Amino acid sequence: MKIGIVVGSIREERKGIKVGEWLLAQTRTRDDAEYVLIDLKSFDVPLLTSPTHPAQAKKQYESANVRRWSEAIDACDGFVFVTAEYNHGVPGAFKNAVDSVAPEWTNKPVSFVGYGSVDGSRAIEQWRQILANFSMFDIRAQVGLNGFTDFETDGTVKPNDRKSESAQTMLDQLVAEVRLRAS
pLDDT band at 38 (very low <50, low <70, confident <90, very high): very high
CATH number of the domain to which 21 belongs:
3.40.50.360
Give pLDDT tens digits for 85-144: 999 999 999 999 999 999 999 999 999 999 999 999 999 999 999 999 999 999 999 999
Pick from 139, 129, 144, 173: which is nearest to 23 by CA? Answer: 144
Residues 73-77: what's their mean pLDDT? 98
Proportion of the chain above pLDDT 90, given as a percent:
99
Confidence class for position 180, pLDDT limits 50, 70, 90? very high
User: Using an 8 Å Cβ cutoff, are 112 and 124 in contact?
Assistant: yes
Give the pLDDT band of residue 8 (cuts 50, 70, 90): very high
Host domain of residue 106 = 2-182
Compute, in degrees rounded to 10, the torsion defined by CA atoms 96, 140, 78, 7: 40
Bridge partners for 81 per DSSP: 6, 112
What are the φ/ψ torsions at residue 116 (nearest 5 degrees)? 160, -165
Of all helices (H) and strands (E), which one includes residue 25? helix 16-26
Q: Quote the number of domains for the chain.
A: 1
Note the pLDDT of residue 118. Answer: 95
What mean pLDDT, rounded, does the chain reach?
A: 97
Distances in Å between the Cα of 22 and the Cα atoms of 28, 34, 40 are: 10, 16, 17
* pLDDT-based confidence at residue 156 (cuts at 50, 70, 90): very high
pTM comes to 0.97
